């Protein structure tokens, strides 16, 4: 190949090459040098190295050049020992960011076949510490080869081409490979001469080259000048199937009266890339727990806060500090301390939903970012879960270790709009928790603290109330509007809360629902209602129809149908007289699972009523498809609506539609004679409300004067 091709290739190497003559003038300088210090090859010619880099005067490099030229002595200067290195900077898109290149430098004497003495300087970027030693060894090896071969041959550049550690492959416009140097095939895992003369297309080993050739061809034709591409990265498959990364540069050499030649020059940077990835991970993640570290936390948390306003989301930031961690560390040693932190991070992660963020801030401090809706108890339940999970024993090498957690919570947007403010406030609240004895949760905002404390107290009290039998079922008559007889009763729960008197369900049902106690309470309700239904039946000598409210959680409890079946088997329930009330929203939101449960309950012989109709979806379509018998129109339609024509019109329409679907209609909230008469006028089947009776205790129910209703408390 022509000498200028070798020259071109040399200029493209990923290593700095300088050749200096005995009069200390630079006679050759490749493009790498130009890129990393800004002096072009033309400019430096016939200049002395020390004129360009005065800082090198009287340094080891200066002495190495002197030794090479005057004493034929080679030197290897590694970054570790090199006090002053070439002032070369990494090429960067922004000129202001100047990263100094860590380098290893080789200085060797060479003979180029004339009378003169020369020395060659080769400079490698060894910024990645792991690669430094390897690069040094390789560089030394390759330079030895270069020098050895140059000394033996006239064709100096061919030899440089062959002995460099950069892979070089030369090919035609069609992509057919003409030749390659040893490194070129070795990097791909082939024997040295594999590519030369073989019928291989460059695109098959380096995908994308075809497009490059096309681009270059068009450029050369239109501008008739040479294009050099910067180093780029490409992923290729090695001969043994392994994926490797190459840093490569592509060039075309227009040759007069002959076909253009193209070549790629490349380095295997797989190891460097892996190191970079490892370093990236190290910079972003905590190496002990693999959780995001503090810096990364700020980045991801700020990203999470972005757009929350628009989506009307609330965000809670939890600051968690482990109680007694220092004692564990001091007692059992750092090894156990580390394992404890690892286990803590696993438990923390398990307390969260998929989209929540947890990070280790430092030592035994962790932070969490969780998004939630306005009415959501997410921050409280997450905090409670954490306290309970971290409170469970940790067992290491047979030692049972007990720690706790102190948690501070700040909320977006009330407490702050950026993560720094929120975290500071959460941290401050965490200190409050710690100062109050640890194993506690504190909100930054007082109001939240109060509402949380009330809720937590409510939970404790409900639990105790179940044990102490503080609940009682009340019964509200449902009246047949056609003849004022009693159709049945709705069971409604009441709580005799110590020092609070009789507490209505609205004050505690939602808390019981949120903390899951409703399942336990619901079991009690069903059992109690059924026993009262039997009592009424026995007392009156006839079955009494009874409706029982089911909360969503109860309805989703997969064992509900089994429990009911056991009641039937043990003759504790007569499904013919029992109606379960469920609201339409809960039925629809529960999806297929709810529909399946509904069908199971129905199959056991119970009836189903849709409660509070008109407050949610008010959709009739599902009523047609599901086995539902009764529709209860929500009381809001009738309370204070004597003069509200729209409300009354709606009630009349609902009744008509429900009848068209063969449903029995109960209107709740009948408070006056006028409303009762209105309902009779629109042929509503049943009325329920204070006009007839308030919810009554079992004794009051049994005592109501049967004359009050034409046919008494009977099923008709
Ligand atoms: P709900 O199922 O809609 O029950 C009807 C509520 O309306 C009852 O309130 C009842 O006292 C009230 N009410 C009846 N007639 C009138 C009237 O004419 N005017 C007015 N203003 N109100 C009337 P209560 O007993 O306070 O129950 C409230 C809610 O608590 C119930 O609404 C139900 O959702 C829930 N709840 C009550 N008992 C239970 C229960 O045993 N289990 C479950 N899961 N929830 C229950
Ligand atoms: Ca109800
Ligand atoms: Ca209702």
Evaluate: CB of 585 within 6 angstroms of ligand 1. Answer: no
Residue with tokens 């020390």: 50
pLDDT at residue 47 greater than cutoff 70: yes
pLDDT at residue 290 greater than cutoff 80: yes
The order of strands in the sheet holding 314-323 is 357-362, 365-372, 314-323, 404-412, 441-443
Residue of 505, 579, 689, 690 to mutate, ligand 1, most atoms within 8 A of C-beta: 505
Helix ranges (H only) for 206-312 are 209-223, 270-284, 294-305
Q: Which residue has the higher pLDDT, 642 or 215?
A: 642
pLDDT at residue 660 greater than cutoff 60: yes
Task: Determine which residue's CA is closest to atom 34 belonging to ligand 1.
Answer: 549
d(CA 359, CA 393) in angstroms, rounded, equals: 22
pLDDT at residue 93 greater than cutoff 50: no
Using alpha carbons, select from 602, 532, 528, 510 the residue that is nearest to residue 560: 602
Mean pLDDT of the chain: 84
pLDDT band at 625 (very low <50, low <70, confident <90, very high): confident
Evaluate: CB of 638 within 6 angstroms of ligand 1. Answer: no
SS3 label, residue 693: coil
What is the 708 CA–ligand 3 centroid distance (Å)?
Answer: 24
Provide mean pLDDT across the span 311-320.
Answer: 89
SS3 label, residue 396: strand
Look at residue 528 in the predicted model and tell me its pLDDT.
Answer: 95
Please, which residues bridge with residue 89 across strands? 100
pLDDT at residue 712 greater than cutoff 50: no
Look at residue 521 in the predicted model and tell me its pLDDT.
Answer: 94
Q: Are 273 and 329 in contact (CB under 8 A)?
A: no
Look at residue 606 in the predicted model and tell me its pLDDT.
Answer: 97
Q: Virtual CA dihedral for 80, 84, 89, 90, nearest 10 degrees?
A: -10
Look at residue 294 in the predicted model and tell me its pLDDT.
Answer: 92
SS3 label, residue 287: coil
- Which residues, in sequence order, are CB contacts of 260 under 8 Å at separation 6+? 173, 217, 220, 252, 253, 254
What is the 634 CA–ligand 3 centroid distance (Å)?
Answer: 5
In 545-681, beta strands by DSSP E: 546-549, 578-583, 607-613, 630-633, 664-667
d(CA 555, CA 574) in angstroms, rounded, equals: 19
Evaluate: CB of 688 within 6 angstroms of ligand 1. Answer: yes
Side-chain-facing half-sphere of 331: CA atoms under 13 Å: 12
Provide mean pLDDT across the span 405-415.
Answer: 92
Rg (CA), the chain: 42
What is the 519 CA–ligand 3 centroid distance (Å)?
Answer: 20
> Is the omega angle on the peptide bond into residue 413 within 30 degrees of 0, that is, cis?
yes
Please, which residues bridge with residue 177 across strands? 171
pLDDT at residue 17 greater than cutoff 80: yes
Q: Virtual CA dihedral for 451, 457, 462, 464, nearest 10 degrees?
A: 180
Evaluate: CB of 546 within 6 angstroms of ligand 1. Answer: no
What is the 549 CA–ligand 2 centroid distance (Å)?
Answer: 5
pLDDT band at 360 (very low <50, low <70, confident <90, very high): very high
Look at residue 714 in the predicted model and tell me its pLDDT.
Answer: 40
Pairing relation of β-strands 607-613 and 578-583? Answer: parallel
pLDDT at residue 130 greater than cutoff 70: no
Alpha-carbon separation of residue 358 from 317, 323, 376, 476, 635 (angstroms): 10, 18, 19, 50, 45
What is the 552 CA–ligand 3 centroid distance (Å)?
Answer: 14
Evaluate: CB of 612 within 6 angstroms of ligand 1. Answer: yes
Task: Determine which residue's CA is closest to atom 11 belonging to ligand 1.
Answer: 695
pLDDT band at 283 (very low <50, low <70, confident <90, very high): confident
pLDDT band at 116 (very low <50, low <70, confident <90, very high): confident
Evaluate: CB of 611 within 6 angstroms of ligand 1. Answer: yes
Evaluate: CB of 695 within 6 angstroms of ligand 1. Answer: yes
pLDDT at residue 303 greater than cutoff 50: yes
Window from 78-87, 180-189, 472-481, 571-580 with minimum mean pLDDT:
78-87
124: left (phi over 0), alpha (psi -120 to 50) or beta: beta
Q: Are 48 and 100 in contact (CB under 8 A)?
A: no
Please, which residues bridge with residue 245 across strands? 235
Provide mean pLDDT across the span 262-274.
Answer: 83
* H/E segment holding residue 75: strand 75-77
What is the 554 CA–ligand 2 centroid distance (Å)?
Answer: 14
Q: b or e along 305-323 (b: 16 or more beta carbons within 10 Å of the residue's beta carbon)?
A: beeeeeeebbbbbbbbbbb
d(CA 468, CA 180) in angstroms, rounded, equals: 89
pLDDT band at 342 (very low <50, low <70, confident <90, very high): very high
Q: Could you tell me what percent of the chain has a pLDDT over 70?
A: 85
pLDDT at residue 602 greater than cutoff 90: yes
Evaluate: CB of 635 within 6 angstroms of ligand 1. Answer: yes
Q: What is the pLDDT of residues 513-554, one digit of tens each?
A: 877 789 899 999 999 999 999 999 988 888 899 999 999 888
Tokens coding 614: 């008109």
d(CA 330, CA 618) in angstroms, rounded, equals: 63
Q: Are 461 and 507 in contact (CB under 8 A)?
A: no
Evaluate: CB of 477 within 6 angstroms of ligand 1. Answer: no
- Which residues, in sequence order, are CB contacts of 660 under 8 Å at separation 6+? none
pLDDT at residue 173 greater than cutoff 60: yes
Ligand positioned closest to the Cα atom of 478: 1
Evaluate: CB of 575 within 6 angstroms of ligand 1. Answer: no
Using alpha carbons, select from 234, 315, 311, 308 the residue that is nearest to residue 268: 234
Query: CA angle, corner 473, sides to 468 and 476, nearest 5?
Result: 165
What is the 330 CA–ligand 3 centroid distance (Å)?
Answer: 60
d(CA 626, CA 601) in angstroms, rounded, equals: 12
Window from 130-139, 324-333, 429-438, 682-691 with minimum mean pLDDT:
130-139
Evaluate: CB of 523 within 6 angstroms of ligand 1. Answer: no
Look at residue 423 in the predicted model and tell me its pLDDT.
Answer: 94
- Which residues, in sequence order, are CB contacts of 185 under 8 Å at separation 6+? 167, 191, 192, 193, 194, 195
Q: What is the pLDDT of residues 439-468, one digit of tens each?
A: 888 888 877 677 777 777 888 899 899 999
Evaluate: CB of 634 within 6 angstroms of ligand 1. Answer: no
Ligand 1 atom nearest to CA at 671:
18
Look at residue 381 in the predicted model and tell me its pLDDT.
Answer: 85
Residue with tokens 């923390």: 348
Task: Determine which residue's CA is closest to atom 20 belonging to ligand 1.
Answer: 669
Please, which residues bridge with residue 16 across strands? 123
pLDDT at residue 200 greater than cutoff 70: yes
Tokens coding 576: 């013919």
- The DSSP result for 610-632, as a single string, is EEEETSS---SHHHHHS---EEE
Helix ranges (H only) for 53-168 are 60-71, 129-152, 156-163
What is the 589 CA–ligand 2 centroid distance (Å)?
Answer: 18
Ligand positioned closest to the Cα atom of 638: 1
Look at residue 64 in the predicted model and tell me its pLDDT.
Answer: 84
d(CA 111, CA 706) in angstroms, rounded, equals: 126
Evaluate: CB of 690 within 6 angstroms of ligand 1. Answer: yes
Look at residue 150 in the predicted model and tell me its pLDDT.
Answer: 47
Q: Could you tell me what percent of the chain has a pLDDT over 90?
A: 40
- Which residues, in sequence order, are CB contacts of 9 under 8 Å at separation 6+? 157, 161, 168, 251, 263, 265
Tokens coding 476: 């509200």
Q: Is the pTM of this model over 0.75?
A: no
pLDDT band at 94 (very low <50, low <70, confident <90, very high): very low
What is the 610 CA–ligand 3 centroid distance (Å)?
Answer: 9
Q: Are 618 and 669 in contact (CB under 8 A)?
A: no
d(CA 672, CA 85) in angstroms, rounded, equals: 98
Ligand 1 atom nearest to CA at 473:
41
Window from 50-59, 112-121, 137-146, 211-220 with minimum mean pLDDT:
137-146
Look at residue 301 in the predicted model and tell me its pLDDT.
Answer: 93
SS3 label, residue 385: helix
Query: CA angle, corner 489, sides to 484 and 495, nearest 5?
Result: 135
Look at residue 581 in the predicted model and tell me its pLDDT.
Answer: 97
Window from 218-227, 246-255, 659-668 with minimum mean pLDDT:
218-227
Evaluate: CB of 551 within 6 angstroms of ligand 1. Answer: yes
């Amino acid at each position: 190949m022509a000498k200028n091709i070798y020259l071109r290739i040399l200029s493209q190497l990923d290593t700095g090459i300088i050749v200096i003559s005995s009069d200390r003038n630079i006679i050759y300088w490749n493009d790498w040098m130009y890129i990393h210090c800004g002096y072009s090859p033309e400019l430096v010619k016939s200049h002395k190295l020390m004129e360009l880099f005065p800082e090198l005067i009287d340094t080891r490099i200066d002495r190495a050049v002197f030794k090479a030229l005057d004493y034929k002595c080679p030197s290897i200067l590694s970054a570790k020992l090199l006090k002053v290195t070439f002032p070369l900077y990494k090429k960067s898109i922004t000129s202001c960011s100047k990263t100094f290149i860590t380098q290893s430098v080789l200085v060797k004497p060479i003979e180029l076949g004339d009378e003169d003495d020369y020395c060659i300087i080769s400079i490698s970027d060894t910024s990645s510490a792991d690669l430094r030693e390897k690069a040094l060894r390789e560089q030394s090896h390759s330079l030895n080869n270069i020098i050895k071969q140059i000394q033996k041959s006239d064709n100096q550049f061919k030899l440089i081409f062959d002995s460099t550690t950069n892979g070089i492959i030369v090919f035609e416009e069609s992509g057919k490979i003409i030749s390659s140097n040893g490194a070129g095939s070795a990097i791909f895992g082939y024997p040295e001469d594999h590519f030369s003369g073989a019928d291989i297309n460059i695109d098959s080993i380096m995908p994308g080259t075809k497009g490059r050739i096309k681009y270059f061809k068009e450029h050369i034709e239109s501008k008739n000048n040479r294009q050099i591409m910067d180093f780029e990265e490409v992923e290729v498959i090695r001969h043994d199937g392994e994926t490797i990364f190459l840093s490569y540069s592509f060039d075309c050499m227009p040759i007069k009266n002959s076909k253009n030649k193209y070549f790629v020059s490349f380095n295997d940077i797989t190891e460097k890339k892996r190191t970079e990835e490892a370093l990236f991970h190290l910079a972003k993640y905590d190496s002990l727990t693999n959780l995001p570290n503090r810096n990364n936390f700020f980045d991801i948390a700020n990203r999470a806060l972005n757009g929350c306003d628009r989506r009307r989301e609330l965000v809670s930031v939890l600051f968690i500090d482990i109680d007694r961690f220092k004692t564990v560390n001091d007692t059992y040693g750092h090894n156990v301390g580390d394992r404890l932190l690892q286990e803590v991070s696993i438990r923390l992660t398990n307390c969260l939903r998929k989209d929540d963020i947890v990070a280790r801030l430092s030592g035994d401090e962790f932070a969490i970012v969780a998004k939630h809706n306005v009415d959501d108890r997410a921050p409280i339940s997450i905090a409670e879960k954490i306290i309970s999970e971290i409170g469970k024993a940790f067992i290491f090498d047979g030692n049972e270790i007990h720690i706790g957690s102190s948690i501070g919570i700040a909320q977006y947007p009330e407490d702050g709009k950026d993560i720094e403010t929120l975290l500071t406030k959460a941290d401050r609240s965490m200190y409050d928790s710690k100062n109050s004895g640890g194993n506690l949760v504190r909100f930054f905002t007082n109001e939240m603290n109060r509402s949380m404390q009330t809720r937590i107290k409510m939970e404790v009290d409900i639990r105790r109330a179940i044990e102490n039998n503080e609940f009682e079922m009340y019964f509200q008559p449902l009246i047949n509007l056609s003849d004022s007889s009693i159709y049945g009763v709705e069971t409604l729960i009441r709580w005799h809360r110590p020092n609070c008197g009789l507490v209505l369900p609205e004050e505690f049902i939602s808390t019981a629902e949120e903390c899951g106690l409703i399942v336990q309470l619901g079991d009690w309700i069903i059992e109690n209602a059924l026993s009262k239904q039997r009592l009424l039946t026995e007392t009156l000598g006839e079955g009494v129809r009874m409706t029982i409210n089911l909360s969503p959680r109860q309805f989703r409890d997969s064992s509900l149908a089994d429990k009911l079946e056991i009641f039937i088997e043990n003759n504790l329930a007569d499904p013919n007289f029992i109606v379960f009330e469920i609201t339409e929203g809960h039925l629809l939101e529960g999806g297929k699972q709810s529909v399946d449960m509904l069908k199971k309950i129905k199959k056991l012989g119970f009836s189903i009523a849709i409660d509070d109709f008109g407050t949610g979806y008010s959709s009739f379509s599902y009523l047609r498809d599901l086995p539902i018998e009764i529709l209860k129109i929500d009381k809001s339609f009738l309370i204070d609506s004597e003069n509200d024509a729209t409300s009354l019109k709606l009630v009349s329409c609902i009744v008509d539609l429900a009848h068209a679907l063969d449903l029995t209609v109960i209107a709740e909230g009948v408070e006056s004679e006028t409303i009762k008469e209105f309902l009779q006028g629109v042929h509503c089947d049943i009325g329920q409300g204070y006009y007839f009776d308030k919810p009554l205790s079992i004794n009051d129910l049994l005592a109501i004067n049967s004359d009050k209703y034409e046919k008494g408390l009977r099923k008709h």
